[in-house]
Amino acid sequence: MSRLALEKLKERFPQAVLDTHDFRHDETAIVATESLKEICRFLRDDPELRFDMLTDATAVDYLLDPARTAPRFEVVYHLYSTSKRRRLRLKVQVGTPEAGRAERAGSGANPSEGDRAGEPEVDSLCELWPIANWLEREIWDMYGLRFRGHPELRRILLYEEFVGHPLRKDYPKDKRQPLVRRPEPEIAEVLARRGRARSLGDGTSPAEKR
């Protein structure tokens, strides 16, 4: 990947770069959330680095990591320079540590239901790379992290009526929120008679009602 990029970053933004590592030769820098946009602009425009492609952006939820003291979420950006053939991973950590510890202890409101305190914010990179528009919408959809300055932060993979953010660790995998009221009465009866009525786990199945 790119040791040069890490060195230049540490030189130019000594306070903002919190940590670096290169596990399996993937150079990674954890940076302060406030300086993210400035750092990305530098990485994109610096003539020696020229990271012109935002290959990927995603988030990770470390709720279930017992030893972790850092904030709960990490937003991970992968950058690539098509001319220099170099890669870099940038990470920012969001979600207040107190909230993270409270969630791990099981106390406090359940942030999966989308209350404001549980929606940490990061600066949007839409100005720098157009693809950030959709990538950030997906992070919002799946993790509930807001992006300041995003023109249109709405769900992309799921439907608007969906409540919660499914890739968070406290969202149960098979908690369905069906859009179609079901089952239809005739189908429900037939399914029940054939012994095929399945429980949807949300108390609406006719098999449970009987």
Partner 1 sequence: MEITPHAEGELPIEPSVINMGPSHPAMHGNIHIKLTLDGERVRDAEVNIGYLHRGFEKECEAHCWQQIFPYTDRLNYVSPMLNNVGWALAVEKLLGVTAPERAQYLRVIVGEIARICDHLTYLAAQVMEMGAFTPYFYLMKGRDWLWDMLEEISGARLTHSYVRIGGVAWDLPEGVKEKTLEILPKVEGILDEVDHLMTRNRIFLDRMEGIAVISGEEAVGYSWTGPCLRASGVDYDVRKAAPYLVYDRMDFEIPICSTGDNLARYLVRLEEVRQSRRIIEQALAQLPAGPVLLDDRRVTLPPKAATYNTIEDMIAHFKLVVDGICPPKGEVYSYTEAGNGELGFYIVSDGTGRPVKVRCRPPCFMGMAALSRLIKGHLIADIIPTFDTINMIGGECDR
Partner 2 sequence: MGLEFTTGRLADAVNWARKFSLFQYPFVTACCAMEYMALWGPRYDVARFGAEFPRFSPRQADMLMIVGTVSERNAPVLRRIYEQICEPKWVIAFGVCASSGGFYQNYAVTPGIDHVIPVDVYIPGCPPRPEAVLDALVMLQERIQNGEGWSQRQYRLDQERARLGLAEGSRP
Q: What residue ranges bind partner 2 (CB under 8 A)?
A: 158-159, 166, 171-180, 182-184, 186-187, 190-191, 198, 200
CA distance 67 to 51: 34
Q: 45 or 208, CB closer to partner 2?
A: 208
The pair of structure tokens assigned to 4 is 């040069």
Strands 17-21 and 28-31: antiparallel
Binding mask 174-203 for partner 1 (x = CB under 8 A): ------------------------------
The pair of structure tokens assigned to 207 is 């098999």
Q: 39 or 57, CB closer to partner 1?
A: 57
H or E stretch covering 88: strand 86-94
User: In whole angstroms, what separates CA 51 from the centre of its chain?
Assistant: 22
For residue 82, the 8-state DSSP code is T
3-state secondary structure of 36: helix
Choose among partner 2, partner 1, none what residue 108 binds, the Cβ cut-off being 5 to 8 Å by kind.
none
Binding site for partner 1 (CB under 8 A): 23-24, 26, 28, 52-56, 58, 60-62, 64-65, 76, 78, 82, 85, 87, 89, 129-131, 133-134, 142, 155-159, 166-167, 173
